[in-house]
Structure formats: structure tokens, C-alpha cells
A and B are shown apart, each in its own frame.
Chain A
Amino acid sequence: MDRPAHDAPLDGNAVAGLLGEAFAFETTLALVRCATCGRTDVVARARAHVSAMGAIVRCDGCDAVLLVVVERPDGTLVSTRGAAWLRAPRPADRPY
């Protein structure tokens, strides 16, 4: 068994590796808008629950699910249903 899902949350930054399998840009610096409450912030500042299955990223404002990441043998699947939109970071946002 892996870590139980009720564990204390991590930061969205902790999901960089998982999301990086699905996107070609630094996802944790991408802006995400919560479809439920409208909060707009970088993915790194959302709350993340990581388990052996993948990760659930929740809005830090209203706790709605923004992203679900599932690792499967045929690839990494990202559901973005809770996000109104996701904007890739501009080159200036990159620290390195």
C-alpha cells in the first residue's frame, strides 16, 4: 500500500514530476483558474494529495478539485475538469 489519501496535503510543487510527464512546460509555474470559485494562481500554490495512483490537486481557496493526475502503463492522464483554464508560464517565469 502507498500513503493513505487522508495524509496532510503537499504543495502543488510536489506534483512537478507527475505533471511533467504529461506537459512539455513547467506545469507548477502555470496559472490555473478554479472553475468553481475563480481563484487564479500558479499550480505550485495549490494543495496536492499524492498517492500511489497519482495526485489530486485542489484549489487553495475553495478546496474544489482542479486537476487529477493518473499514472497508467500507457501514459500519464490529466483530468482538468475543475479548471476553467491553464496558462503555460512565459519564459520570464522560468527560474533557470
Chain B
Amino acid sequence: MTAGATGGWHVATVVGARPLTRSARELTLSVPGLEASSPGQHLDVRLTAPDGYQATRAYSLAATGQAERADLVVDRVPDGEVSPYLVDVARPGDLMEVRGPLGGYFVWRPGDPGPVLLVAGGSGVVPLLAMLRARRASSSRAPFRLVCSVRGPADAIGREEIDEPTPGVEVHWVFSRESPPGWPTRPRRVADDDLAAPGFTAADGPDVFVCGPTGFVEAAAALLTGLGHAPDRVRTERFGGA
């Protein structure tokens, strides 16, 4: 139907749904004709109401490398048009349309030697989780540091998997509203100390990927350039919102 780079819309069937937190759910889609994706890419998801009204939103791929399958993690935006449906309503057998895999810029290539500094706010962890999974599944030894900012422990998407000990991968959690019991620091926002770690400073020249709500991304990117990271080494993926 299209001569464009995307290959147009594919029909997707929900084949799995798994709650991850009180507001986030993993959805697995079966998508005949969908090419395998690269870590960091996203899909456009299009829903059509019975009256023909359509809404399209972008969702990152949480896992990559497998054709004809899409793993999404959607966090509910209260009063949102699309996310409450994907988190609370969609169930196996439901149909939607997807376009992708999309984007060549916010992508980590497993052949890159690193180091890689990943900075996530909330559901912004989703494309970074795809990068982490790709690194763990490959022979890459690129040093990874993942900084995850979440409101509280109950909001941390994929925490157990992310925390799995892996040589060369360090994970640093920042709790912004509520710290877990016994956690050494009080709730706070991401600051310079979270971002500047040995091996991942501006002098080490890491590739930096920052993802999350627009306000979080802009604040974190400003801290990073303040720490001396070259703006063109800091790749951002703004999810929208305030």
C-alpha cells in the first residue's frame, strides 16, 4: 500500500498481557510481516473505534531481534486517550494496527564498544531495557550504566530483571517520591552525582541515551551537558507530557 520507508500498517493481535506495576502492563503482539527491530526503536500503534475514529501513539519496543512479534510496556497516563485502554482493557485476541519498526537515531548497536550511559525516567526505561536485553543476549562487553528514576518501588518497571547481576553492567536507582524501606537516601530527583560515575564521565566519551517524560528528559539532558557531555553524544527520546 505504500512506497515509504515504513512498510505501512500491519495488523497486530494481542497474544499476551502481563501487569508489571500498578500502572504499567506488558503487551505482546503477534504481527505478521513485521521486521525484526533494533534496540531503541519504536512502533506507532493505531486504534480504531467502532465509529471509525482513530488514535495513533508511539510505543517503544521492550525487546528486539525477533520478527513478527512486538513486546510493548505501556504505563497508564490518567485520563489519556490510548494508554488506559492498552493497560486496563486490551486482552488476548484484540486487534490493532502497528507501523514500524521506526527510528534510526535512538538506537544502540551491539557492535559498538561503549561505554553506554542510559538514563530513564518512569516508562522511559522501556527502550533502554531493550538495549540492556540486547547487550545481555549478545557477546558485547560494552560497559553499561543504567540510571533509573522512578516515583517509588511500586512503580519500578522490570526491577528484578534490570537488577540481575551482569559483569560490566551497573544499575543505579533513584526514587523521587518514596524510597524503599531501609534505602540509604531520601526521595529526590536525579542529580549530577547519579550521572557522573567512574568510567561514564564526559571524559570517557560514553554514548548517552536519555528517555522519559519530556520534563525529565530536558532536566537530565541539561545536567549531562552541564557535566561536559557533548550535546551530540546525548541522544534523547521525549515521551511527551509535562
Chain A residues in the interface with B (C-beta under 8 A):
2-3, 7-14, 16-29, 42, 44-45, 52, 76, 89, 93-96
Contacts and interface: CB of A to CB of B under 8 A. Distances in A.
Contacts of A13: 103, 105-106, 237
A17 B237 contact: no
Contacts of A42: 105
Interface residues of B, number: 34
A17 B38 contact: no
A14 B127 CA distance: 13
B236 interface: yes
A9 B100 contact: no
B105 A8 contact: no
9 shortest interchain CB distances as A-B pairs:
A44-B105, A20-B6, A8-B214, A17-B44, A16-B102, A20-B5, A95-B107, A16-B103, A26-B104
Contacts of A95: 38, 104, 107, 109
Contacts of A44: 103-106, 235
Contacts of B214: 8-10
Contacts of A7: 240-241
A53 to B, nearest CB: 11
Contacts of A3: 81, 240
A28 B103 contact: yes
A29 B8 CA distance: 19
